Structure 1
Amino acid sequence: MESRTFYNEVLTEHNVRPAHKRALEGECFSLEGVNPSCGDDITLSLRVEDGVIVDGAFEGDGCAISQASADIMLDLVIGRTKDEALRLSDLFRRMIQGAASEAEIEELEEAGALRDVSHMPARVKCAVLGWHTLDEILRNPDKAVGQR
């Protein structure tokens, strides 16, 4: 029960008061991520300097899980290198697939609260939308350049 309470508190806090839901001003990489099965739509923006994600934000609409997951993700990756962010994204996906160890889930900090989404197949795409968009920006920055 404690896990479910933690999940609800974290999800609610990041959905109701997202720290990173805003426009990111200045030069940045931006890319739209869409989940056509439920209508979630976000535009993720990252400012990367010398291989480090120095700022990030998202805009758009969607369910509580997609919005909270994107906000939690940005809390976790801002200040990290691109390689660290990609590794965390891989851990998140493995957690959602039920393949991450407890130690790996602990590395995900608050994102670990979304582990139970793995038992809700219809919500998996919601939870990974921001993470997938992050991967696309970091692995294929040419796709994102100039998009706002």
Structure 2
Amino acid sequence: MHQALDAAIVGDSRRASDALDEIGLNSTPQELYGVCGGLAGGCVKALQLVHGDAYDPAAGDRVWFREAVPGANEADPYGAWAMRFLVAHANGDTAMTNALYRAAHVAGGRDLANSVACLLLLAADMARSTAEHLRQQHT
């Protein structure tokens, strides 16, 4: 997963795609769900770094604000899936993350691959914007 995310962060779409294909081909459905959870977890950490005390899932805070997530594209069905998975994960809604993953898995093929790829791109966009935000805070 780290190779795919690292490649996506620097904009190397070929390397990111190859790494993601390898993950998809060599993962069980449960492992791929874990990859999605890991990517969403990185996004949650980015939200915490940017918004600080305004977002504390341990205190019961919930994520409802899509405008705070750079790269979110809900006009695209795969982008919408990625956004919904992220929001459900951030809110600790495992029933929803399971349902979203099951739907993508049942659709299979390119639908599953494109959904996970959009989550990867969302995580990469958030990593870049968080890094920029932190750079600006420290200059």
TM-score by length of 1: 0.33
More strand by share: 1
Higher relative contact order (CA 8 A, sep 6+): 2
